[in-house]
Structure 1
């Protein structure tokens, strides 16, 4: 049993389109569609964002290409574009994995302020400075988080988790969780 790298092997809904590359078709100034002339006529194929700049830079008009595409209602969406002149497949550029930045938003309004959100914010900033991954944590002062009776409140992003009745002593424990 041999394994192939073609997308069609994983799912039968993929189609192989072969033909001449006619260029990119812009929509409102941004190229989103690849024009392809096949034996059966002209076809337009939607290109995923990571592939767009690569295709514009690497392919010359009138070049022979193969496009593995997923069939949509009336169009196709490209999965892989391969120049048939023996060149390697044009793949999306490698995605740089940046460390996730967590943001702690501390409510500084009304009753949260009266209940000590200023002290909580200072404690979080002090704990962040001592935390080994302090660069990956941002602390922001924000307006009302709509939980005034449960204040001081802290919202943790990107999880959108709300922490209620936060006390100064909890600062290090909160940062350790993120």
Structure 2
């Protein structure tokens, strides 16, 4: 996490899956915390010692660091320890999305590769554009993008700078997602 402000973090969530670099190197954990998806970069020493019982669907307790890039305002999360959370585990709060640094305006990435388009990405883009127009959020960019590496889970969206990722998005879910991520500025007119 170069050029970031770092603070310790501890949170409990459900492991959604693993992201590998070059097919074999564990790079990120996809975790849902309080209904939002986050990607935690796995510390190098943890990659080799991660408990094999930690599998998708398991409740996990993650401790590590959260930081925000001073240049882009993007939230970066790093997992230093990951343990199974017991049935009686205390829930810990989600990473904070608040920024003390000046951030760029929000951007919404929408995958436009053929697999996502077949599953409705074009309609999702149209509904997003209509929501931005109806709510007078012209400063928010909707950016068509290439593959987001979740082809069979399309259509896929990413809300920046939070990096909140959503798969299998349906057009009728767009107003709720806009409320969730852009609520302070997105009141309905």
Compute the TM-score of the two structures, normalised by the length of structure 2.
Answer: 0.40
**Larger RCO (CA within 8 A; separation ≥ 6):** 2
Higher-helix-fraction structure: 1
Compute the TM-score of the two structures, normalised by the length of structure 1.
Answer: 0.42
Larger radius of gyration: 1
